[in-house]
Every structure is written in structure tokens, then in C-alpha cells.
Structure 1
Amino acid sequence: MDGTPAQQLAETYLAMLNTHDPDLVDRFVAEDYVNHNPFVADGREANRQFWTAFFTALPDLSATMEDLVISGDRVVGRFVYRGTHTGEFLGIPASGNSVEMRSIDIWRVADAMFVEHWDELNLMQLFQQMGALPPLGAGSEGQP
């Protein structure tokens, strides 16, 4: 891999997504990783467990990195994830639907690893695509 160490961490994250190898977290997530995400607990092992479940729910997942911005100890990436929801995800049974999720991830880097993480996700749209939520405006046909 070319680029700065921070860029290499983001590229390893993307490689993990596209190879479906949750053990790659060992190469970019610090053991005491702090995750500001209500669905994923702190720590490397919790991160590994989340990705294992994510890849089970979306076994044909592919991801692209749309943007990468590095400033000081921060790495910001914008990602698009596409796959087919063929396994249970966060209690949502498999729907067989094609889904697209977008994220903006911000990581703090220390000692050549991601040590802290924040993200913004289009979860409402994802859950609608999985059939767990109705589409916006559902039931409003014919309403003034």
C-alpha cells in the first residue's frame, strides 16, 4: 500500500470490507478502541464481532471509499456499502433485498492505529430497505 500511515489504515478498513475478513481489524483497530456508535461496543474484539455479524447478514457486501480526508490525527472517510440482506442483522430477519448503506466515518489515530471512532450512517434508509421500517410517506396516499 502506498500513502501515509493514516491512509493505509483507511485502505485496510476498505480491504476488510471487500474481503469479508474481520480479522483484519488487528491491523487497524487498537485493542482499547473507543467507538461512539450505539450498535458497536468499545474494543477491538467488539469490532471484530460486529463485522463478523455484518458479513453474515450481507455476504455479498462490496464497499467503495468515495472520499478520504486526513488532517492531523483525524481520518475522515465517506463510504458506500452495497449488498443483499440474506442474514439476520441487528434483530432484523433476512429480507433478500438489495441494500445500500452510506457512512461518514471519523477516526482518531494514535500509535499507527485507529483508537477512536465516530460515524454518521443512513440507518433509517437501510432499515427501510431491509423491510424493518415503512418507506417515508407510506400510508399517506390520497391524503391532502
Structure 2
Amino acid sequence: MKLLKVMLSAFIFYLSFIYGASAMAQDLSQQNKQLLANFANEVFVKKDLTNLQEYLHDDYIQHNPIVPQGLSGFKQFFADWFKAVPDWQYRLEKIVAEGDTVWAYGVYSGTQQGDWLGIPSTGKHYSIHAVDIFRIENGKLAEHWDVIDTYGLFKQLGVIQ
């Protein structure tokens, strides 16, 4: 009987530990999803780059070779994009989080009215899909990878046939 009580207590402890760890992981994933949703809304929907330090580490690592490194590189790249595409829009479709990693699927669109990425103004509208992957560290975006439809972008802008 004593052995049964010990085994039952151990099993209850195990379940409590597993449930607690799972709940903590879910809380972290939810926090990270909310961080990315807030970031996307402020930066990509409102095109407001004034509070980037609240979202990105100064030494933010960028794995897209056309975007410069760090918070300042991010800020310059998107300021240039917003200027070249005054009607720039972003629609966030889905966010998925696991641990310190958050994936966002969205659509970037607008009309290129100014020079951008070495491409003279085309006056053409584009709409492209992208998956952005972020690693979060200490409540801020620390690292970024993306999968973006650059072929579709360049085709819509008339850069390629």
C-alpha cells in the first residue's frame, strides 16, 4: 500500500511537472506571437519606425542579403521601401510560434513610385507573399530569415519577363 502511494505521488508530480512546463511554453509562445503581431502592426501596417528599439535588438541579425545588419540597417531599408512605395501595405495572414521562434506569413503590396533596390521607378503595382521567421531573445527580435517571392516581385515590376 505504501509503495502504491509513493508511485501515485510520483505520477502526480510527473503530470504536474509536464503540465506546468507545457503551460509555460504556451505562455512564452503566446507572448512571442503577440510581440510579433504588435511589431507587424506598428512597423508594417502603420509604417512607424520610431519605436524600433522596443522590438529589435541593436545587433539584430539579418539573413536576407539585401537588408543591412542591425536595427539601423533594418530602419534604413524599410524607410527606403516605404518612400519608394508610398501606398505600401502589409497583410498579416498567420503567426505560428514555438519556443523562441515565430513564423509570420503575410502579403506585401504596393505601387513602386520611386527608385528601390537599384530599380528605377516603374509605376507598377505588385503583391507578393512571404514567410518571415524571427528568433526572439529577451523579449525582442534578435534574428530574421525570410522566404519571399522575389521572382514574382521582379516579374510584376517588369524587371524580368
The question of a shared fold, defined as TM-score above 0.5 by the shorter chain, is answered with yes
Matched positions, count? 132
Offset at residue 14 of structure 1 (A): 1.8
Offset at residue 73 of structure 1 (A): 0.5
Q: Name whichever structure is richer in helix by fraction.
A: 2
CA deviation digits over 1:64-108, x for unaligned, max 9? Answer: 111100000000000101111111110101111111121101100
Match for residue 21 of structure 1?
A: 48
The amino acid across from 1:4 in the alignment is Q
Q: CA RMSD in A?
A: 1.4
Q: Show structure 1 runs of 4+ deviating over 4 A.
A: none
Stretches of structure 2 that go unaligned for 5 or more consecutive residues are 1-28
Stretches of structure 1 that go unaligned for 5 or more consecutive residues are 135-144
Q: Distance in 2 between matches of 1:64 and 1:80?
A: 5
Offset at residue 24 of structure 1 (A): 3.4
The amino acid across from 1:128 in the alignment is K
CA deviation digits over 1:12-44, x for unaligned, max 9? Answer: 332211111222322211111111001112100
Match for residue 80 of structure 1?
A: 107
Q: Distance in 2 between matches of 1:121 and 1:4?
A: 25
Give TM-score, length-normalised by structure 2: 0.77
Match for residue 30 of structure 1?
A: 57
The SS at the match of 1:90 is coil
Q: Which has the higher mean CA deviation after the structures are superposed, 53-62 or 19-28? A: 19-28
The amino acid across from 1:88 in the alignment is D
Offset at residue 45 of structure 1 (A): 0.3
Question: Percent of aligned positions with the same letter in both sequences?
Answer: 32
Is it true that 1:51 corresponds to 2:78 in the alignment?
A: yes
The SS at the match of 1:10 is helix
- Which of 128, 131, 135 is residue 101 of structure 1 equivalent to? 128
The amino acid across from 2:86 in the alignment is P
User: Are the equivalent residues in 2 in contact too, given 1:31–1:44 (CA < 8 A)?
Assistant: yes
Give TM-score, length-normalised by structure 1: 0.86
Q: Distance in 2 between matches of 1:114 and 1:22?
A: 14
Q: Distance in 2 between matches of 1:88 and 1:40?
A: 16
The amino acid across from 2:59 in the alignment is D
User: Are the equivalent residues in 2 in contact too, given 1:12–1:24 (CA < 8 A)?
Assistant: no
Greater Cα radius of gyration, structure 1 or 2: 2
